[in-house]
Structure 1
Amino acid sequence: METMQQHSADRRSTYLAALTLEIERKLQKALISPRQRPELLQQLFADVALEVEDRARDMIFKKDEDKITSADDGIENHLCFYDVLADYFVGEPENGKHILDLIVQLWSQSFVSHIFALIFHKWLFEVSVENSEMLLRYGSALVQGATNVFWIDIQTNRKRFFPLFSYLLQEVALVPYRGNKISLQARRDLCLLLSRFLFFYNLDDLLEKFLGQFPGFPNAFLVGGPADIFVIELADQLQKLKVEPVLLHYLSRMSALKGLELRMTTSTRLKACLYSFTSPGGPMYPTRVVRHAAWDTLDLLFPVGQYPRHIISLFFRLLYPWYWPSSCWNFIMTCVRTVVFYILRIIGSSWENMRKSKDY
């Protein structure tokens, strides 16, 4: 048994060492080939973000050690190469030293911060780094790279980088001694980043704990406390979203904001953001389903004044005659569906009563 375990460990070590050498080779090639550099770095990023296939999985894990879990609550939690490499460089930090040196030489290039954030995010917080100047650079590169990869998930409506987000939130932002390894400015930027994507990755149940670990912000006396800063970042994020399913997902999770104590200026900012999604036309051009979701969220978070808001909105809709035909058509179809469903419920109820009377 011990011989088999040793053989499995050796095979895993050999495979990951070969993977490390391949990453080094591609980075070295990118360094000496300026013309091919963007393409090579993009390919390397795609490689480390790939999901681990069955053959590689057998080499990396024993059957009882398989880390792959099924999707939960819509989160794609499939094991990717970056997740394996991140653990590997924590256990064998010397093996990643040459890769780090190459990454530092390529800092200014596209996709380098992506690669660094994916494969060295655990190394940065779990391995001792004595050079404070490098820590400053690593912290800022981590935030930049994580921002870019999370936006890739937003654009594709995927959650491939959920393990990275989960680690940064639960193992860094909520664990002060780890967060203190990077500079105060990097910690602030990290909290702002997590605020923008918390709802997307369905971790809003940790919102209260997260707000309790916010670092101090120099402009807090102007913008307010952690809750205000979180909502401001969230409102800015909503304005940038262009993928309808993602926007609807954000709106569906915003019930978590109910009960937060916010400054009047923050509440007004959030209200204005949501209100911008309730009207057809520019600048947002929201679809009908988005408009209804925004109205539902607005009425849930700000129940006071909801009826005057709807009346004012209806008045402004009347000023744009070209919207009347679609509004009338949608109103008629809604009424028809309501009547049909009502009749079907009556028929179903009558049928059920007849069956019960026959049974007696």
Structure 2
Amino acid sequence: MSTVLTPRAAAYLGAVALQIEKKLQRALASASQSRNLLQELFADIALEVDDRAKDIIFDEGDVVYDAEDRNGCAYCFYDVLADYFVCVPRSGDSIIDLIVQLWSQSFASNIFCLLFYKRMFEVRFDNLDVVLRYSSALVQGAKNVFWTDVQTNARRFSSLFIYLVEEVAFRPERLKKISPQAQRDIFLLLSRFLFFYDTDDRLAILLKHFPDFPNAFLIGGPPDIFVSELADQLQELKVEPVLLHYLSHIKVLQGLEIRVATSTRLKTCLYSFTSPGGPMYPTRDVRHAAWDALDFLFPIGRYPRHIISFFFRLLYPWYWPSSCWNFVRSCVRAILYSVLLLLFSTWERLTKSKPS
């Protein structure tokens, strides 16, 4: 998205920024209502740009913006506002000052991240204390909004994630504008959500740009750090479609050189999803997806694992009826598909053998 704004678009976004400032002032003046007001503001700036605003911002006569980003996602208000605060940095100073006074509120870092994530890397800050404070707020806010997407199985903040990957993580000159700890935290954050936002094709490049970690001799290199963060993320996921999405993408880890301890950690994580009941209580689809991923990444010991799992299943007789039913249903389905395939192939041979 270009950061060049037409006068009409700049005036409109300036008015929006003024409304944001007024709402922040109200949140600061009313301690009892501040959380609700910040939550409303967060929801407003995360909305997709409506038709009325599109006519003003996406000027068709002087093509400045496209209606969608390069990933085919519709722009949200935070996208265009982030560009606006890069074009007119001073317009966001009062908003930042108000957010700083509201740091303790749960949605303050989210709002700061969405509005100023581009300004953090494209506008210079001379005050080191300011950089340290804003860096931690950026990472915390990004983590919160990405988890919001996970909980709703949406991709509303994909543009923020892709910006952090391609325009920050892959560009060392920008990455160095934030504190070293924030640099490491951003890479840990990207490791956790890389699969969720369908950017696993950038994995190899991401690993090459990993910053140095002070305890690398204990935790391993970039592949080990990435896999460890991914395993922790899998353990925390509670939304079934999201977990299935992760398990379907995890096969890209094949061939990654990691330590034995890291490999065992990932194997244990996947194995925890293969059995019904506690502590994970996975559904049948999740169990099968976990088995597929486990067998693909760790083919050695595949059959002993299944045999051991079968005998452990015998210890839980209350799961026998459902297991038997699913087994019978799978057999019937397989037989039915085989019969249909045989009929279709026979019919095709007969039609081809008929004289013209």
TM-score scaled by length of structure 1: 0.95
Please name the residue that 1:150 is paired with. 146
Larger deviation, residues 323-332 vs 134-143: 323-332
Please name the residue that 1:49 is paired with. 46
Fraction of identical pairs, as percent: 64
Please name the residue that 1:4 is paired with. none
TM-superposition CA deviations, 1:45-79 (whole Å, max 9, x none): 0111010011101101212444223895xxx7110
- Distance in 2 of aligned mates of 1:11 and 1:24: 20
Please name the residue that 2:231 is paired with. 235
Decide whether the 8 Å contact of 2:251 with 2:296 is kept in 1. Answer: yes
TM-superposition CA deviations, 1:1-60 (whole Å, max 9, x none): xxxxxxx92221210110010001001111111111111111110111010011101101
Amino acid at match of 2:9: R
Matched ranges for 1:110-149 at <5 A: 110-149=106-145
Give the deviation of 1:124 after TM superposition: 0.4
Decide whether the 8 Å contact of 1:82 with 1:118 is kept in 2. Answer: yes
Within the alignment, does 1:289 sit opposite 2:292 as a pair?
A: no
Please name the residue that 1:256 is paired with. 252
Please name the residue that 2:208 is paired with. 212
Unaligned runs of 5+ in 2: none
- Distance in 1 of aligned mates of 2:333 and 2:224: 41
Give the deviation of 1:357 after TM superposition: 2.0
Please name the residue that 2:73 is paired with. 77
The count of corresponding residues between Structure 1 and Structure 2 is 350
Within the alignment, does 1:176 sit opposite 2:172 as a pair?
A: yes
Decide whether the 8 Å contact of 2:28 with 2:34 is kept in 1. Answer: yes
- Distance in 2 of aligned mates of 1:312 and 1:209: 39
Decide whether the 8 Å contact of 1:113 with 1:141 is kept in 2. Answer: yes
Amino acid at match of 2:98: L
Within the alignment, does 1:34 sit opposite 2:31 as a pair?
A: yes
Within the alignment, does 1:59 sit opposite 2:56 as a pair?
A: yes
RMSD between superposed Cα atoms in Å:
1.3
Decide whether the 8 Å contact of 1:71 with 1:78 is kept in 2. Answer: no
After superposing on structure 2, the runs of 4+ consecutive aligned residues of structure 1 that deviate more than 3 Å are none
TM-superposition CA deviations, 1:262-296 (whole Å, max 9, x none): 10100000000000000000000101110000000
TM-superposition CA deviations, 1:81-110 (whole Å, max 9, x none): 000000011111011111111111111111
TM-score scaled by length of structure 2: 0.96
Decide whether the 8 Å contact of 2:13 with 2:81 is kept in 1. Answer: yes
Amino acid at match of 1:68: A
Decide whether the 8 Å contact of 2:58 with 2:67 is kept in 1. Answer: no
3-state DSSP of counterpart to 2:354: helix
Please name the residue that 2:243 is paired with. 247
Amino acid at match of 2:324: C
Residue 359 and residue 185 in structure 1: after superposition, are their counterparts in 2 closer, same or farther (change >3 A)?
farther
Unaligned runs of 5+ in 1: 1-7
Q: Which of 301, 305, 309 is 1:309 aligned to? A: 305
Please name the residue that 1:11 is paired with. 8
